[in-house]
Structure 1
């Protein structure tokens, strides 16, 4: 550390990442001296870093930023192994952490809860945070989406007895192929479901499933694994005998739908109306409740809080509505998510026509060998639409796709397919929207379409 300052000095390599920039902001707010570099920074990371004067003045890598007074360097997933700043840090003998390693370092004295799974982990984590905050609990957290009522996605304080972490199964850093969630060493782990995705990272179903088994097997004595028992593979992992580790299965929370509104059915609290819907969310509620019980939250405290939970950003997010229609967007991109989200909206509004539009954007979804995983996943939609950008396929160096490939993979002859965003927009605006819902599903941007403006336009049709 600098002789002129007792404040820790931390440098971020690849500061623009979704978790990385939030961690940088949190350390800055704690009084640390924070610097960072990146070769490209997108929104909202750029604006949020600029707000705290943490946005690098120039993009790129600058080894001269790595000085001997740094306490440590935090390495982001998107930096390469030959990064010149990383080489300089090693040369100077400065401690290099991945962000999961750093989060663990900061929370060794706390009870650690990790929420994992192929789908539902962001929403379930958000539910737990919402309930704890509603009940004035002190806690730390790391979550992958913006949540109403939380300014930052990372919180690290000295006085919190517990930390809630959304943990993913993908590689920790360019130097470390260990799944991120293994570094947190949780006392409680929730796994929300296993559905194979990221074909480029886990080329086989078996290699993907193995990551979750490793997490379950890592739990310490007096630990707990909470899992969705309706997932056959996960049920095998969850029910495995582990000495002194509690197995806590959960299922769909009992509920009913009335006039497009979901109501939880509870033994002690009676009927509890909620703002979210769909089978997956009913499972997420059960999982979140099981976590909260382990943290000492009563049933009454949980149900009082969950009534006001609006969902995580871009998770079945309502963009706009009128008396006879609604527009939703969802982060869904993997086959299981596309199917669950489409089915949830149709079940919630069975008398409305459902137009479901999915963008093929990820490496897996644009891979001809993986595309068959989407077979019949849009069956709940009355009108099924696919958008993809051929330039994205080319950029990812994948084999070109034809409309016939996509139609055959989805097993739906009436599938509408667009490769031009403006044509997609024109098509959607041309439809009759009385007594109909529009669902937009993507981890991308539909070719930079202004989805809010599109929502407003179709609501006026």
Structure 2
């Protein structure tokens, strides 16, 4: 099968391209720029375009399919040629569905927790040598690729993103997978550039629940009132199975999970992660892994990349890096770290980096998000606001949003870096939360703060 990728360099797109190549497909692609690690990974398999740019002559009737990435525009020259020739143009999620329509599709959805839950499931499956196809949104320890496609696997595990499918398909990705087994972890307003109201955002998850195939099932976090309402109000003829945070204790910086066989030491921590674990256990049981085997495997799970990732530690200090940026994620992550290290000073640093977080109106959603921190710092770049063509965000608006009198705010990367390097981190925990890099902060250098 001949497949061409328009915008092959994206994080998701290049992983799908690699998966198809590994499956024996003939893969070609184009992009106007490709960054690392996509560039090296494509090059290693001979899939890196010879020249960057868009080339309509690459689009011929010999192609069986064209996959269109979000990075491309609706007037992309290669897309226009594909449409002119009448070729089948797939979005990323559409093509994944095509690859898995004869398998049992397991879709993990929600505003937060989906990468971690998907990672937990895959970790358990790998631990017990169970072969499954998958797509996950982060690089996992012990996994070479983020997308795996085979002919033989019975299950396809998909991390279900609610963002748009392609430049010409404005449906959220989760609407296209048609799961047999689903999970909904939480609903907290995000992507306000696409879903301008909370009601509009919630509607996407209602459609997702209704898209589960008849006779299928959904596990849902009953501690989230929006999730509970959306699932329980659905008329879809599916099994609805709630889950909640299991009992656990924290002793001397070690989280112990209560199980029928006694307390089990685990690598992850925080109420939100224990809640994720409860959801993952249910899904693994649907996939044929019994409870005892799940606990044996999950005890060795260390977390997904960039999700509460420990990047440095000494006898008296520790540094975590986390992808958290939405209000609910920031609050859950900050609370989790403080609970785990109750006797240390928590310095929590948040970069406002996304479209939503830099929107003056949306900022109000961050009220109380950093309350668990002993020292709270917010960094944002006025240049990022300018690039995103948003109205200017002021110090006063940020201070008002977080409702914290001692909040420290930086807009200059050097000032923020100088603050970090002026601190004595003995008996402290440093938590760096961002989907960016604080205007160019070198995390390898940050590790030297810990002695």
- With the length of structure 2 as denominator, give the TM-score of the two structures: 0.98
Distance apart, 1:241 and its partner CA: 5.6
Residue 229 (1) aligns with residue 222 (2)? yes
- Structure 1 contact 226–238 (Cα < 8 Å) conserved: no
Note the 1:120-139 alignment, pairs <5 A.
120-139=113-132
1:283 match: secondary structure: helix
**Deviating more after overlay: 56-65 vs 116-125:** 56-65
Residue 37, structure 1, aligned to residue 26, structure 2:
no
SS of equivalent residue, structure 1 residue 199:
coil
8 Å Cα contact 2:210/2:236 also seen in 1: no
Preserved contact between residue 238 and residue 249 of structure 1 (Cα < 8 Å): no
Structure 1 residue 125, shift from structure 2 partner: 0.3
Please say if residues 317 and 329 of structure 1, whose CA atoms lie closer than 8 Å, have aligned partners that are also in contact. yes
Matches within 5 A, 1:204-215: 204-215=197-208
- Contact 1:325-1:459 at 8 Å conserved across structures: yes
1:303 aligns with 2:295: yes
Answer yes or no: is 1:16 the counterpart of 2:9: yes
Aligned 8 A contact 2:317 2:427 in 1: yes
Given that 2:327 and 2:369 are in contact with CA atoms closer than 8 Å, whether structure 1 keeps it comes out as yes
Secondary structure of the structure 2 residue equivalent to 1:43:
coil
> Distance between the aligned counterparts of 1:248 and 1:333, measured in 2?
29
Structure 1 counterpart of 2:370, from 363, 373, 378: 378
Measure, in 2, the Cα distance between the counterparts of 1:295 and 1:189: 12
Alignment partner of 1:328 out of 305, 309, 320: 320
Which residue is equivalent to 1:5? Answer: none
> Which sits farther off after the overlay, 50-59 or 15-24?
50-59
1 CA distance for matches of 2:405 and 2:33?
A: 40
Kept in 2: contact 1:11–1:34 (CA 8 A): yes
- Preserved CA contact (<8 Å) 2:344 2:427: yes
Point out where structure 1 has 5 or more consecutive residues left out of the alignment: 1-7
CA distance in 2, matches of 1:211, 1:43: 33
Q: SS of 1:184's equivalent?
A: coil
Compute the displacement of 1:402 (Å).
Answer: 1.7
Please say which of residues 311-320 and 236-245 is displaced more in the overlay: 236-245
Where 1:10 maps in the other structure, the secondary structure is: strand
Alpha-carbon shift at residue 243 of structure 1 (Å): 5.7
CA deviation after TM superposition for structure 1 residue 81, in Å: 0.7
Deviation at 1:226, TM superposition (A): 0.7
Structure 2: how far apart are the matches of 1:15 and 1:309? 31
The answer on 1:59 being equivalent to 2:52 is: yes
The answer to which of 420-429 and 359-368 deviates more is 420-429
2:450 to 429, 453, 459: 459
Match of 2:96 in 1: 103
Contact 2:366–2:401 (Cα < 8 Å) also in 1: yes
For 2:269, the equivalent position in structure 1 comes to 277
SS at match of 1:126: helix
Q: Distance in 2 between matches of 1:164 and 1:118?
A: 17
Q: Deviations over 1:159-187 (max 9, x none)?
A: 00010000111111111111101111101
State the alpha-carbon separation in 2 of the partners of residues 62 and 236 from structure 1.
48
Identify which of 200, 204, 210 aligns with 1:217: 210
Contact 2:209 2:236 in 1 (8 A): no
**Cα distance in structure 2, aligned partners of 1:247 and 1:30:** 35
Q: Distance in 2 between matches of 1:217 and 1:106?
A: 22
TM-score normalised by the chain length of structure 1: 0.96
**Residue 366 of structure 1: SS of its match in structure 2?**
coil
Report how far residue 198 of structure 1 moved: 1.2
Whether the aligned pair in 1 keeps the contact of 2:105 and 2:180 (CA below 8 Å) is yes
Alignment of 1:28-427 (within 5 A): 28-240=21-233, 242=235, 244-267=237-260, 269-427=261-419
Unaligned runs of 5+ in 2: none
Provide the C-alpha distance between the structure 2 equivalents of 1:186 and 1:347, rounded to a whole number of angstroms: 36
Stretch of structure 1 that moved more, 115-124 or 252-261: 252-261
Q: Distance in 1 between matches of 2:237 and 2:170?
A: 29
Shift of 1:71: 1.2
State the 1:42 CA deviation: 2.1
Equivalences for residues 424-443 of structure 1 within 5 A: 424-443=416-435
Change (3 A) 1:134 1:426: same
Q: How far apart are 1:60 and its partner, in Å?
A: 1.6
- Contact residue 210 and residue 234 of structure 2 kept, 8 A: no
